[in-house]
Amino acid sequence: MTEQASRAPGLADGVSPLARQDAVPVRHYGRGAVAVLVVAVVAMTAYAFAANPKIEWPVVGEYLFHPDIMAGLTRTLLMTAMGMAFSVIGAVVVALMRMSPSRIISATAAAYIFVFRGIPLILLLIFVGNLGLFVDRITVGIPFTDLQVFSRPVQEVLTPFAASVIGLTLAGSGYMAEIVRGGLLAIGRGQREAAKALGLNSLRTTRFIVLPQALRVIVPPMGNELISMLKATAIVSVIGGGDLLTVAQAISGSNYRTIEMLLVATVWYFAVIALLTAGQYILERRIAER
């Protein structure tokens, strides 16, 4: 840059009048145009739903708090909570197994992750839901002896609800094991070494030093997993899991208000997800503070 060009006019004679004004920012006309376009598309889509003569919105309102819908919603929430709780426990166990120095244990965990992450959830649910087709009885006892603690027909134990929770847990724990493992690996070797030098055994090191720190890495993606799990519960309708969507579809089977009933379910999913998102935001902020 030449000295001439960098000089504002009048700068040499004390304070320039330019120094007393605000500069004019660059105008982004393209941004404004895109914004108008986006608003237009959103408004048109909303209008298409709101003003569609084939959708009877009063029916949506009428069924929103229908006892069957409420029961379905409760079951969906219960399924999500149980599926998530069991998945997290399973994920921690599988992640620790995956990191075991024993190749056999580690390979078993890797195979578990491969299978249950690889298989589509819908397929997994149908398998578990139809377990009775290839297994007759569930028996707990000591192999090769007659000692049996528990033996019942599969159909009796494996209700659609139980099958749904098991399916969600198998898939969820496979996914989340990798998240947990990532969190555990994010903790530097130095932390384990320092704990070891202080005389902590590996179990205590994991429990008191590694896991609490890994949690900060693990919790944010786990929030997403929880939301995914909630949405995934809709898939259990293929085995009649009794969830929100199953119930909504059952009602539309008798009143022929298919779209309205789907909207009822959609409203509830949105409501719960909004709550979960708010919770996730608060939790993440609290973790970031520390």
Phi and psi (nearest 5°) for 181?
Answer: -65, -45
Taking CB under 8 A as the criterion, the residue among 104, 133, 197, 288 binding other proteins is 197
Residues 6+ apart with CB under 8 A from 200: 208, 209
Q: How far is the CB of 201 from other proteins (least distance, A)?
A: 5
When asked if residue 199 is in the footprint of other proteins (CB under 8 A), the reply is yes
d(CA 126, CA 8): 75
- How many residues would you count in the chain? 290
Q: How far is the CB of 224 from other proteins (least distance, A)?
A: 23
When asked if residue 202 is in the footprint of other proteins (CB under 8 A), the reply is yes
Question: How many residues contact other proteins, by CB under 8 A?
Answer: 20
When asked if residue 255 is in the footprint of other proteins (CB under 8 A), the reply is no
Q: Which range in 31-39, 110-118, 187-195, 257-265 contacts other proteins by CB under 8 A?
A: 187-195
Q: How far is the CB of 195 from other proteins (least distance, A)?
A: 8
Helix (H) / strand (E) element for 106: namely helix 103-118
d(CA 239, CA 245): 12
d(CA 262, CA 148): 46
d(CA 99, CA 109): 9
Site residues for other proteins, 203-222, by CB under 8 A, read 204, 208-209, 212-213, 216
Binding site for other proteins (CB under 8 A): 188, 190-191, 193-202, 204, 208-209, 212-213, 216, 290
